[in-house]
Amino acid sequence: MRVEVLYPEICNLFGDLANIRYLKLCLPELELIETDLKSRPVFLDEQVDLVYMGSTTERGLQLVVQALSPVRDQLLARIDAGQLMLVTGNTLDAFGLSVHSDQGLDFSGLGLFETRAEYQMLKRHNSMFLGRFEDMEIVGFKSLFGLSYGAPAEEALFQTLRGVGRNADVKEEGFLRKNFMATYLIGPILPMNPPFAKWLLAQMGASGELAYEQTAQEAYLRRLAEFHSDSFDFMYH
């Protein structure tokens, strides 16, 4: 079983790579492929069970777009063919139409989704998230310079129960096309969400117990109880 991590030298912020470390602990036999910016993604030519990309800087976003633009059509073809991919944090914005900030950042994305990212660099968005995916509840955090606007309601990854979706006005969170998943949630979303981690492993063809499943499940249930509680504010002030 193979997992390809795209551009770990720049897509590595906010503990996101813990998702891959956790998968490796769950499946010690997992083969990890780390593909850097100057290399061609392996999944375009070979069988890979999961492709992962984590959060990055604003400069990193531009580098991601530059690196994937020459292979955009092949990427689209792989997504249409059902390639399993997970993208976390702001790297989602590389797959939209454009990124614009109030401090001069302005560049086009890969244009896979009809959405435009708007950043306010001195007004960081911090929020908690409680959402639904299939029959699971998802917990997580957002810490971003901005959100995404204009996308049609279709192709959402999660449905927001509490917190904000792609932006504060919509319940749809992230994007899902076939097996391509992108979410604004940051950090270790797999160890934080053992049901989702189990589901993802099942999509890869693996089964059995998660690593430290009992502890992960206990932490998940504690957080879930907090996120359901009215005494918790979902926006950080």
The site for another protein (CB under 8 A) is made up of: 8-10, 12-18, 21-22, 25, 36-38, 57-59, 63, 103, 121-122, 124, 126, 128, 141, 143, 145, 186-188, 191-192, 211-212, 215-216, 218-219, 222-223, 226-227, 231-233, 236
Q: How far is the CB of 201 from another protein (least distance, A)?
A: 16
Q: How far is the CB of 110 from another protein (least distance, A)?
A: 18
**Is 8 within 8 Å of 34 (Cβ atoms)?**
yes
Q: How far is the CB of 222 from another protein (least distance, A)?
A: 6
What is the rounded CA–CA span in Å between residue 166 and residue 87? Answer: 14
β-strand pairing of 50-53 with 2-6: parallel
Which runs of E-coded beta strand occur in the chain?
Answer: 2-6, 31-35, 50-53, 85-88, 98-101, 106-108, 116-119, 125-133, 136-144, 146-149, 158-162, 172-173, 175-177, 180-183
Question: CB-wise, 140 or 174, nearer to another protein?
Answer: 140
Q: How far is the CB of 223 from another protein (least distance, A)?
A: 6
Question: CB-wise, 29 or 233, nearer to another protein?
Answer: 233
DSSP annotation string for 55-99: ---HHHHHHHHHHHGGGHHHHHHHHHTT--EEEEGGGGGGGSSEE
Question: CB-wise, 81 or 122, nearer to another protein?
Answer: 122
Question: CB-wise, 150 or 195, nearer to another protein?
Answer: 195
For 147, the 3-state DSSP assignment is: strand
Q: How far is the CB of 175 from another protein (least distance, A)?
A: 21
Question: CB-wise, 63 or 136, nearer to another protein?
Answer: 63
Question: CB-wise, 51 or 192, nearer to another protein?
Answer: 192
Q: How far is the CB of 155 from another protein (least distance, A)?
A: 26
C-alpha dist (Å) from residue 194 to 17, 42, 44, 152: 16, 28, 29, 30
